[in-house]
Amino acid sequence: MHDQKISSLQVENRRFSPSESFQAQSSITAQTIESLQKLASQDVVAFWEHQANELHWFRKWEKSFEWNYPFMKWFQGGLLNLSYNCLDIHLSTNRANKAAIIWESEPGEIRTITYRQLHKEVCKLAEALLQLGVKKGDVVAIYMGMVPEATMAMLACARIGAIHNVIFGGFSEESLKDRINDSKAVCLITQDVAQRKGFFIQLKETADIAMASCPTIQHSIVYQRSATMYTPMQAGRDHWWHELTANKKGNIAPEQLDAEHPLFILYTSGSTGKPKGIFHTTGGYATQVRYSVQLVFDIRETDVYFCTADVGWITGHSYITYGPLMHGATVLMYEGTPTYPTAGRIWEIIERHNVTILYTAPTAIRSFMSFGERYPLASDLSSLRLLGTVGEPINPEAWMWYYSVIGKNNCPIVDTWWQTETGSIMISPIPSVTTITPGTATAPLPGVIADVVRSDGSSCEINEGGYLVIKHPVPSMARTVFGDDERYKQTYWSEFPPNEHHQGFYFTGDGARKDEFGNIWIMGRVDDVVNVSGHRLGTAEVESALVAHPDVAEAAVIAKPDEVKGNALIAFVTMNKTAQYDPKLMNEELRQWVGKEIGSIAKPDEIRFTEQLPKTRSGKIMRRLLREIVASGTISGDTTTLEDFSALESLRKQEEE
């Protein structure tokens, strides 16, 4: 861990209390939260049992919690099925014909899928998977765009106890291949093309290249998004979704799964080059995701809930698919870019479908802001009652814009802090209760014991910067890193191992401080993980993609604050001595190279060529120094010139002392 001094100059005094009208419509009062907090402080395990009871169980659990540092188990012996909890439980109620998903395609087509229809489609696909020989415990990779079929694919896996591994549709064939191979997926569900910014994204074509190097894949199921595209299909391996499901009845029984049966693997970036397969199980995840939707989104029968995340990220798992569907909510799903064909698209969608809850990311808000107020002002946004953000700290300016221009000073904003690893929201305001200050995710939800601590584990003073930890395991936490228990232990549980005072703290990787009101202010990552446009990237991942280029000798990637994206990536690159290149052309070539190795989201914003990188005597690249150079503007301007770090020799010496 970098024991750097974490400091912040942010001072924010504005405070916003929930309006009386919002409170009057909510079933959650200050008393509700107080009694939940009381129960949690008396017995946190009993608290979570209480929440788990809200789910449908085929058989109740025998053991509520087991802690064998650093491995946890929740609700062992209990049998449930998450697709049952998202679908079947609604069919005997008047939600059966309620819209589960309203989908708007980028070109403007609208599809409404009721709970009954969704159940049927999920069952048909589940039958098809079984027919192909996919068994309980097998891994199924999903590489799709934002279509309802992506949700169906996840739920179909959950129905038969297959483990889904959703891979973001923007990832390259290399990233796709690595994630399929690491998880040993036996089947890949994809689509011919996805539509984005008016273009067709050739998902099946990319999948074909990846599958050629994926020995474990036996079958692929291809959803036909376009009626006109020609898609090569490999006989015996590739199957059209519509053909495979055509003769299925659509009513297979859900597999009764142990609470600790794996639900999904989702790859995320860490501080080393290799992405981690974050491994989540069924019962605890479902319990806490369900609970958080109720508390944070104050979900109601009449809500139309719109989350702009992609299914390829954890937000798309917990808060597009499982969370809202467990509550029988109507989910608005949009296929394309929210600013396409004009910057007004997202606001038109909200007006057209009477969206009541909007959940998006600060980077998206900043991008909406950059187009000016006239776009949101052109649409009727009066259906909105609650706004949410996730992914990075929201700067107060963007918060105020979201609050006033979008929410018309009438909608609480829930700034939700969580991670792929925590599975569900950990820190957030309760919209009907919490007094909110822009820029802070406020306080942990009842049942979550989070704190800001020093490296020895002691609690920080008010406003003293420290490390954000979670002091007791919670049900929706990742159980391990797929295939790498040691990495799980190292990354999350070894900074604050058990001692005479506690049983070990979960380390989030974030720096934070707590103010005099108990609000937690996230101050960014303390490891080499950066947030670019709400996407989490490991700088080491981008570095290893760069050095994979035949002309590159060494690379160091750092982040630089960026107004819209949150962070921009700056790469310092040393070329092989023998390499002949034109810096301008090589700059573009390397950006394309990284795009191919990882995906467009990882392309560095700037590449700077240098004869050498500043290093410690032991050979460690001094990224801190590079960050300072970029921040102070010591070296700036022409990005294609060679940087000479020899002038930094004195700095290097100081650093070593």
Task: State phi, psi for 548 to the nearest 5 degrees.
Answer: -75, -15
Shortest CB 449 distance to ligand WT7, Å = 17
Least distance between ligand WT7 and beta carbon 643 (Å): 29
* Cβ at position 338, least distance to ligand WT7 in Å: 17
Nearest residue to 394 (alpha-carbon basis) of 429, 364, 434, 350: 364
Take residue 629 and report the two structure tokens written for it.
Answer: 């150079």
- Give the alpha-carbon dihedral of 609, 611, 614, 615, to 10 degrees: 120
> Least Å distance between CB 546 and ligand WT7?
22
Q: Which is nearer to ligand WT7, 368 or 418 (CB)?
A: 418
Q: How far is the CB of 371 from ligand WT7 (least distance, A)?
A: 23
Closest CA to 258 of 74, 7, 53, 423: 74
Beta bridge partners of 305: 331, 357
Distance (Å, whole) CA 193 – CA 208: 13
For the CB of residue 524, give the shortest distance to ligand WT7 in the complex, in Å: 7
Q: Closest separation between CB of residue 45 and ligand WT7, Å?
A: 25
d(CA 453, CA 463): 11
Q: Which is nearer to ligand WT7, 161 or 391 (CB)?
A: 391
Closer to ligand WT7 at the Cβ: 193 or 413? 413
Task: Indicate the residue among 330 and 420 with the shorter CB distance to ligand WT7.
Answer: 420
Query: How far apart are CB 601 and ligand WT7 at their closest, in Å?
Result: 11
306 φ/ψ angles, rounded to the nearest 5 degrees: -125, 115
User: Which residue, 280 or 353, has its beta carbon nearer to ligand WT7?
Assistant: 280
Residue 456 gets the label, from left (phi > 0), alpha (psi -120 to 50) or beta, of alpha
| Dist CA 400 CA 234 (whole Å) | 53
Nearer to ligand WT7, 271 or 339 (CB): 271
Q: Find the shortest distance in angstroms from Cβ 536 to ligand WT7.
A: 3
Please report the DSSP string for 529-594 in residue order. EEEETTEEEEHHHHHHHHHTSTTEEEEEEEEEEETTTEEEEEEEEEE-TT----HHHHHHHHHHHH
Instruction: Tell the smallest beta-carbon distance from residue 427 to ligand WT7 (Å).
Output: 7
**Residue 147: strand, helix, or coil:** coil
Nearer to ligand WT7, 153 or 425 (CB): 425
Q: Please give the residue ranges that form the binding site for ligand WT7 (CB under 6 A).
A: 268, 314-315, 390-393, 415-420, 441, 508-510, 522, 525, 531, 536
| Residue 153 CB, nearest approach to ligand WT7 (Å) | 20
Beta-carbon count within 10 A of 106 CB = 20
Which of residues 84 and 418 has its CB atom nearest to ligand WT7 in the complex? Answer: 418
Q: Is 244 left (phi over 0), alpha (psi -120 to 50) or beta?
A: alpha
For residue 305, give Cα distances in angstroms to 344, 353, 575.
19, 10, 49
Cβ nearer to ligand WT7, comparing 303 with 415? 415
Question: With contact defined as beta carbons under 8 Å apart, do 268 and 277 qualify?
Answer: no
Query: What is the rounded CA–CA span in Å between residue 476 and residue 470?
Result: 12
Identify which of residues 106 and 415 has a Cβ nearer to ligand WT7 in the complex: 415
Q: Do the Cβ atoms of 126 and 160 come closer than 8 Å?
A: yes
Residue 265 is classified by DSSP as E
The single residue listed with the structure tokens 């539509």 is: 195
**Residue number, 369 or 625, with CB nearest to ligand WT7:** 369
User: Least Å distance between CB 597 and ligand WT7?
Assistant: 19
Count, in order, helices (H) and strands (E) of the chain: 22, 31
Asked if 179 and 275 touch (Cβ cutoff 8 Å), the reply is yes
Q: Which is nearer to ligand WT7, 312 or 447 (CB)?
A: 312
Minimum distance between the CB of residue 314 and ligand WT7, rounded to whole angstroms? 5
d(CA 305, CA 33): 23
CB of residue 529 to ligand WT7, shortest distance in Å: 7
Residue 289: closest CA among 421, 521, 476, 160: 476
CB of 533 to ligand WT7, least distance (A): 11
Length of the chain: 657
CA distance 183 to 503: 31
Q: Are 118 and 101 in contact (CB under 8 A)?
A: yes
Q: Report the residue number, 161 or 439, with the smaller CB distance to ligand WT7.
A: 439
Q: Which is nearer to ligand WT7, 219 or 536 (CB)?
A: 536
Residue nearer to ligand WT7 on the CB measure, 533 or 574: 533
Q: How far apart are CA 657 and CA 652, in angstroms?
A: 9
Taking the least distance from each CB to ligand WT7, the nearer of 12 and 348 is 12
User: Residue 407 contacts by C-beta under 8 Å, 6 or more apart in sequence?
Assistant: 384, 387, 413
The span from the CA of 251 to the CA of 238, in Å, is 24
Q: Please, what is the minimum distance in Å from the beta carbon of residue 419 to ligand WT7?
A: 4
Distance in angstroms (rounded) separating the CA atoms of residues 326 and 293: 9
Cα separations (Å) of 361 from 339, 358, 398? 14, 10, 11
